Structure 1
Amino acid sequence: MTAINAVTSLAVDGNIAVLTVDSPPVNALSAAVRAGILQGIERCTADPAVQGIVLACAGKTFIAGADITEFGKPFVPPGLPEVQAAIENSTKPVVAAIHGTALGGGLEVALVCHYRIAARSARCGLPEVHLGLLPGAGGTQRLPRLVGVEKALEMVAYGTHVPAPEAAEMGLLDALADDATLRADAIAFARRIVEEKRPLRKVRDLDDKISPARGNGELFAAFRKANARRFRGFEAPEASIRCIEAAVELPFDEGLRRERELFQELMAGSQSAAQRYVFFASRQVWNVPDIGADVPSIPVTRVGIVGAGTMGGGIAMNFLNAGMPVTIVETTQQALDRGLRTIRANYDNTMKKGRLSAAEVEARMARLTPTLDLQQLADADLVIEAVFENMEVKKELFGRLDQIVKPGAILATNTSALDVDEIAAATSRPEAVIGLHFFSPANVMKLLEVVRGEKTAKPVVRTSMELARKIGKVAALVGVCPGFVGNRMLAQRQREAQRLALEGALPWDIDRVLYDFGFPMGPFAMSDLAGLDLGWVRERSTGSTLREILCEMDRRGQKTGAGYYDYDAQRNARPSPVVERVIRDFATRQGRTRRAVSDQEILERCVFPMINEGAKILQEGKALRASDIDVIWNNGYGWPVYRGGPMFYADTIGLDKVVRTLRQYEEMLGEEFRPAPLLADLAARGKRFADPK
């Protein structure tokens, strides 16, 4: 084996050269990797003893994509197109040997090889859309020529990873190999190509898979229509579709130019900047500065859940899905049976959609032990309470758990807003207590706020973060404060939405503005979905808020067919003249004179106070980083990823503008809008939340 540079090497097996990339951790297409491949191809082309070339990778994966750390930095040659041209125009057949993943630029390199063989466990994809981009190195032009237009549209616009057997079936791969024999099989495959004198097949020259779509605009229109909701607000999917249209209708080189133009437009745009920011923020969120490798984790093999309601059952499913046995406790048989039925129904629905087999459902249910006896949690390594959101109830429960659960176990509360330190004080081991705030439905929502108490031990924090990853959650470490991070900020938006409704905007106006901003639904539609009667008790209702009045009218949301909106039998919403009248009458009784409220004011008053609250949270140290706040809002509250997150959005529009606008509303509406000191200071110094401290 001969080293070409620090990350590539060349070995010869008879008449076949194996060019190997070894650039941990994922063989990304850095400048060194590009240079090594180019030099390797040139050497092989010049060597008369070499008749075929295998392009392979060491480590756990084939080239997994571009080196996104180079984005925005000065260009270092050679460029990827130059490398691809050398491969594609090689006078000797080049075979890509794929294992692990061939993603983005990695797959685009494989597409310029003359043939492709992959391990059966490999996956291929063009996921650039998740970074607000499209494949910029010929992917949108070559892929449809191999797999057809329909499959190419799905792979590029969805950014999906396709398993190797499926990729071979659709024509993306020429052969499959066992994982253990991929290298040997790739060499043998290349040797057969040479012996059989197969043509140097250039994907760019293929036409049979795209010609049926030529002139068929209806195909693309149907794809757009079918995915209108999925693609709403995003620029990259539409640009990807336009590129594949170009692949069908234009000569290859013209299509390539169109792809490059659209790629560069996206790269320079705000959406890709936001989505790339989210990509890095989603990795940074796992980093807890004071929890180093020297902090031990606590083995967790058995989990206990107290409460089998919607939240407790959903939490239990996360651990059952991860292969962990769970004991779930309720106070009555009726409540326990109801909880078990809900868990079973959730699994059955998943099975009907083809995502689980009947055997897998039974295996997961078999890991669940239902009981009415709290003593059954004595041997649990982790106990999570999911009971009524009442401090006294939770303190009483934790006092009992303290007497039952073995020493060394973690005691976690799922509270969404209560003081974790006060709950911990009800035990003799506050160092073992932590908040694990799951979001509803807990078996679906990705976010988990890990709430670190004043006395929570470091091993408990580390273990909680590791468990979050194990059960497929995105965890953000937060501090103890009312509402923690997400709900504390949400309360600001909810307050202003209610005030705006009384001042002149109607619920559907407010919802429309936030929906158009990119949220999946506005605050009033969200309230109807959750149920207006959450926490409402008729006997204690005073009719002092719109919500109470509507609940007293039995307008409790979608489940009753009426809330802020009216609903038909299919739960389709329409503005309610009844609610409009209730709002106007309520405003009159309060002595308010309603006025016209602009869309701009609605957006500013709903979003800017959230940003301001985020600044207070950072100043108090209740979140480690501004980017953690954004991760919370991306994964728990539907903040549009193409706007980055509330703190990134503030940086984008300028902190000086946010402060200036808040001060205008402070003068008009009161001190709730007073800029946080941190926000005001950063704005005065021309800084951003994203800037180093």
Structure 2
Amino acid sequence: MPVTYERLEEAALVTFDNPPLNVFGQEMRAGLQAAIARAREERPARLILTGAGRAFVAGADAKEFDGPPLAPHLNDVLAELVALPFPILAAISGPALGGGLEIALACRYRIASPGATLGQPEVTLGLVPGAGATQRLPRLVGMAAAVDLIGQGGAIPAAKALAFGLVDELADDPLAAALAVPAEVLRRAIAADHRPAPAPDEAAVTAAHAQANRRAPGQEAPHLAIDLTASAATEPMETALLRERATFIARRQSDQARALRHVFFAERAAPARGRAYPAPVKLQAVLVVGGGTMGAGIAYALLLAGLTVHVIETDAAGVTRAEANLDKLITQGIERGSITDPAFRTRLTLGAGYTDLPQADLAIEAAFESLEVKQAIFAALQAALPPETILATNTSYLDVNLLAQGITDPGRFIGLHFFAPAHIMKLLEIVQGAKTSDAAMGMAFALAKRLGKIPVVAGVCDGFIGNRILARYRKACDLVMLESSCPKGIDAALRGFGMAMGPYEAQDLSGLDIAYANRKRQGRSGRYVTIADTLVEDMKRLGRKTNAGWYDYVDGKPVESDAVTHVIYRAADEAGINRTTLPAEDIADRALLAMIMEAILILQEGIAARPSDIDLVMVHGYGFPRWRGGLMHHADVITPPALLARLETLALEDPLSWAVPDLLRRLVGEARPFNSLN
């Protein structure tokens, strides 16, 4: 049974037992309601709620949110719990999240283990709390702490919860402590429902809205949840609880909630593919070749994960530069509090060359994006390391199969495409070459798990999944720029859609020379716009690092460049183009259609296994708005028939830039969405 009821002398114990995390669904709610009814009849001296295993309750069953609400509803069950005429206690071990925390908030007394975490993450799924948190939490912890916790959708450790007044005490054995709480203490404890309304705090509410705008731009749920929480100071609790529930029900089927649920489940499904590839050995030591910005970020991420790391550079000067890069990251980590291990630095060594290398389970190359440079590195690594060491390249574009040609056993070779900054970005593209072994795949998935990254498997092509889509995106935006708009207008249109950055401000940040080098390597194809080449070749505008790229930079701030505008208009004149004005919505639509077209081709070719993999790559690697569910989820919102019609029109107008993938025609013919391929 997922919910059990038992008598412990004068006390009664209700245990939630739905492994692994006691996620609360309809059966669990019915079980709790039945336990409440039994307790109402037996009238124990105290009723204790606890969770079996490693959680109290880690939240509601999000799978239920795609259908109609199923009775009994948690808010109604908790109303019955609050009405019981004897003390109710929560004994919390592990996570108490979402509905789990709402259960605890309805109790009179809460005891948590030191390792417990408590939070209301509903807004991260496009929802608001629906079973009393917006009213009970501020009555316990005050308005400032409540709007912050609910508005951000975060979780806090037990010690902080104790300081806030969210829990009443900490204990290594919360159940034993709940049984031992003196009856006099319980008589003095006041349930949240019977406490006075919290004092208004307009400054805290305003700050919470501002924080939500920064952390979750474009998302509706955080602001709704903050306003509901603020209402605890001004509305009767009964009225506010009804409005909270109505808002929760309305949000379940909203576009943003559907999109955020899609990403949530895709993130949890991504590591599951690794079950087919057990790691050959326990990952303990890693070599990183290259201590530049990317290599240092990778090495630092490995150190944070508790691994032993040796960084290889070409000479003593390179070692000095690499050490400076790592020291800067380590200093920042200590200042932020993310490094507390006094032995952290002792797990890092650096050296020049490939002689006398330490033992390693994995070697990651993070050098300059040159086929010849990387092949030379792997020749040296192969000669210096035992045959069981997995060899990996961090290339962003180059052919992994070509890089593997010089390896005696190409099965040990794999692509591990980190995203910058490597110690922050959560995405890891695992590039599976034609001969990559199961052992190498297992090592890659083990690494992703150890680093807390989201693994997405990609096949071999130029740019893999993300950078291939990015290249198409940039080409489409360049055409829009040539025919109608300017960098500022295009950037604003894509930010308006929800992208973290526009394409041109992003290029200025990374450097125009990087994209330029890739274009030269790839050669010209389709309708080729030369504006970016002119900026690099003739004007030496490389972006922020030269204070001039697509924008001029004055005191570090971008301003439109008359010189760039002149190049754009001259290129349009030379191409015989009569520039027109395109609305922001049409600019974003054109760019998104280009990305979707390329993504469909990637699926069609088997470079990505499923649409949700593409969604994860775009959300976690390229700033695609999470609340839109990723690129392919957004394609389903547009609908395949509408995409087909739009792409057919564009392909007729400009067959060099647009095409209709066969996969899209097939899905339309079968009346299937992209999600059916997941």
Q: Normalising TM by the smaller chain, what interval?
A: over 0.9
2:458 match: secondary structure: strand
Equivalent residue number for residue 455 of structure 1: 435
Unmatched tracts of structure 1, length 5 or more = 1-5
Q: Do 2:304 and 2:339's aligned partners in 1 also have CA atoms closer than 8 Å?
A: no
Equivalent residue number for residue 388 of structure 1: 368
**Aligned equivalents of 1:76, 1:558: Cα separation in 2:** 54
Deviation of 1:259 (Å): 1.1
Q: Does 1:432 align with 2:412?
A: yes
Equivalent residue number for residue 110 of structure 2: 116
Q: Does 1:153 align with 2:147?
A: yes
**Aligned equivalents of 1:31, 1:224: Cα separation in 2:** 33
Equivalent residue number for residue 318 of structure 2: 335
Equivalent residue for 1:201, pick from 190, 197, 205: 190
Deviation of 1:143 (Å): 0.6
Q: Which moved more, 1:596-605 or 1:451-460?
A: 596-605
Equivalent residue for 1:614, pick from 575, 594, 599: 599
Q: Does 1:186 align with 2:178?
A: yes
Deviation of 1:219 (Å): 4.3
Q: Does 1:292 align with 2:276?
A: yes
Equivalent residue for 2:54, pick from 51, 60, 73: 60
Equivalent residue number for residue 514 of structure 2: 534
Equivalent residue number for residue 441 of structure 1: 421
**CA gap 1:254/1:28 in 2 versus in 1, 3 angstroms:** same
Deviation of 1:613 (Å): 1.3
Equivalent residue for 2:576, pick from 584, 591, 603: 591
**Aligned equivalents of 1:616, 1:205: Cα separation in 2:** 60
Equivalent residue number for residue 23 of structure 2: 28
**Aligned equivalents of 2:353, 2:552: Cα separation in 1:** 44
Equivalent residue for 1:269, pick from 254, 268, 284: 254
Deviation of 1:471 (Å): 1.0
Deviation of 1:345 (Å): 0.7
Q: Do 1:377 and 1:383's aligned partners in 2 also have CA atoms closer than 8 Å?
A: no
Deviation of 1:450 (Å): 0.3
Equivalent residue for 2:226, pick from 225, 235, 241: 241
1:374 match: secondary structure: coil
Deviation of 1:268 (Å): 2.1
Equivalent residue number for residue 3 of structure 1: none
Aligned 1:404-483 pairs, distance under 5 A: 404-483=384-463
Residue 88 of structure 2 aligns with an amino acid whose one-letter code is V
Residue 634 of structure 1 aligns with an amino acid whose one-letter code is V
**Aligned equivalents of 1:287, 1:168: Cα separation in 2:** 36
Q: Do 1:246 and 1:258's aligned partners in 2 also have CA atoms closer than 8 Å?
A: no
CA RMSD of aligned residues (A): 2.1
Q: Could you give the per-residue CA deviations for residues 398-422 of structure 1, whole angstroms, max 9, x where no partner exists?
A: 2222222101110101111111111
Aligned 1:98-177 pairs, distance under 5 A: 98-177=92-171
Q: Do 1:378 and 1:406's aligned partners in 2 also have CA atoms closer than 8 Å?
A: no
Q: Do 1:327 and 1:376's aligned partners in 2 also have CA atoms closer than 8 Å?
A: no
Equivalent residue number for residue 306 of structure 1: 289
Deviation of 1:41 (Å): 2.1
Residue 486 of structure 1 aligns with an amino acid whose one-letter code is G
**Aligned equivalents of 2:89, 2:195: Cα separation in 1:** 17
Deviation of 1:478 (Å): 1.0
Q: Do 2:151 and 2:212's aligned partners in 1 also have CA atoms closer than 8 Å?
A: no
Equivalent residue for 1:398, pick from 378, 398, 408: 378
1:375 match: secondary structure: coil
Equivalent residue for 1:633, pick from 578, 602, 618: 618
Equivalent residue number for residue 656 of structure 1: 641
**Aligned equivalents of 1:643, 1:72: Cα separation in 2:** 16
Equivalent residue number for residue 267 of structure 2: 282
1:286 match: secondary structure: helix
**Aligned equivalents of 1:465, 1:226: Cα separation in 2:** 34
**Aligned equivalents of 2:604, 2:37: Cα separation in 1:** 56
**Aligned equivalents of 1:13, 1:600: Cα separation in 2:** 64
**CA gap 1:85/1:535 in 2 versus in 1, 3 angstroms:** closer
Equivalent residue for 1:489, pick from 469, 486, 500: 469
Residue 132 of structure 2 aligns with an amino acid whose one-letter code is G
Unmatched tracts of structure 2, length 5 or more = none
**CA gap 1:167/1:589 in 2 versus in 1, 3 angstroms:** same
**Aligned equivalents of 1:233, 1:81: Cα separation in 2:** 28
Q: Could you give the per-residue CA deviations for residues 470-494 of structure 1, whole angstroms, max 9, x where no partner exists?
A: 0121110111111100011111101
Residue 23 of structure 2 aligns with an amino acid whose one-letter code is A
Q: Which moved more, 1:26-35 or 1:103-112?
A: 26-35
Deviation of 1:218 (Å): 4.8
Deviation of 1:535 (Å): 6.5
Q: Could you give the per-residue CA deviations for residues 212-247 of structure 1, whole angstroms, max 9, x where no partner exists?
A: x1xx54543343235433232000111111101221
**CA gap 1:643/1:117 in 2 versus in 1, 3 angstroms:** same
Q: Does 1:12 align with 2:7?
A: yes
Residue 444 of structure 2 aligns with an amino acid whose one-letter code is S
Q: Do 1:402 and 1:429's aligned partners in 2 also have CA atoms closer than 8 Å?
A: no
Residue 247 of structure 1 aligns with an amino acid whose one-letter code is A
**CA gap 1:378/1:422 in 2 versus in 1, 3 angstroms:** farther
Q: Could you give the per-residue CA deviations for residues 316-339 of structure 1, whole angstroms, max 9, x where no partner exists?
A: 111111111111111122122111
Deviation of 1:74 (Å): 4.8
Residue 18 of structure 1 aligns with an amino acid whose one-letter code is L
Equivalent residue number for residue 541 of structure 2: 555
Equivalent residue number for residue 321 of structure 1: 304
Deviation of 1:378 (Å): 6.0
**Aligned equivalents of 2:363, 2:281: Cα separation in 1:** 13
**Aligned equivalents of 1:223, 1:292: Cα separation in 2:** 44
Q: Does 1:367 align with 2:372?
A: no
Q: Does 1:40 align with 2:35?
A: yes
Q: Which moved more, 1:218-227 or 1:473-482?
A: 218-227
Residue 568 of structure 1 aligns with an amino acid whose one-letter code is V
Deviation of 1:376 (Å): 3.5
**Number of matched pairs:** 670
Q: Do 2:66 and 2:252's aligned partners in 1 also have CA atoms closer than 8 Å?
A: no
Residue 567 of structure 1 aligns with an amino acid whose one-letter code is Y
1:329 match: secondary structure: strand
**Aligned equivalents of 1:274, 1:376: Cα separation in 2:** 51
Q: Do 1:127 and 1:161's aligned partners in 2 also have CA atoms closer than 8 Å?
A: yes
Equivalent residue number for residue 499 of structure 1: 479
**CA gap 1:7/1:377 in 2 versus in 1, 3 angstroms:** same
**Aligned equivalents of 1:479, 1:431: Cα separation in 2:** 15
Aligned 1:543-582 pairs, distance under 5 A: 545-551=530-536, 552-569=538-555, 571-582=556-567
Q: Which moved more, 1:231-240 or 1:683-692?
A: 683-692
| TM-score, normalising length: structure 2 | 0.95
Residue 195 of structure 2 aligns with an amino acid whose one-letter code is L
**CA gap 1:615/1:69 in 2 versus in 1, 3 angstroms:** same
Equivalent residue number for residue 644 of structure 1: 629
Residue 259 of structure 1 aligns with an amino acid whose one-letter code is E
Equivalent residue number for residue 590 of structure 2: 605
Equivalent residue for 1:668, pick from 648, 653, 657: 653
**CA gap 1:196/1:319 in 2 versus in 1, 3 angstroms:** closer
Q: Could you give the per-residue CA deviations for residues 590-619 of structure 1, whole angstroms, max 9, x where no partner exists?
A: 333222222233112211121111111111
**Aligned equivalents of 1:106, 1:441: Cα separation in 2:** 35
Q: Do 1:298 and 1:460's aligned partners in 2 also have CA atoms closer than 8 Å?
A: no
2:166 match: secondary structure: coil
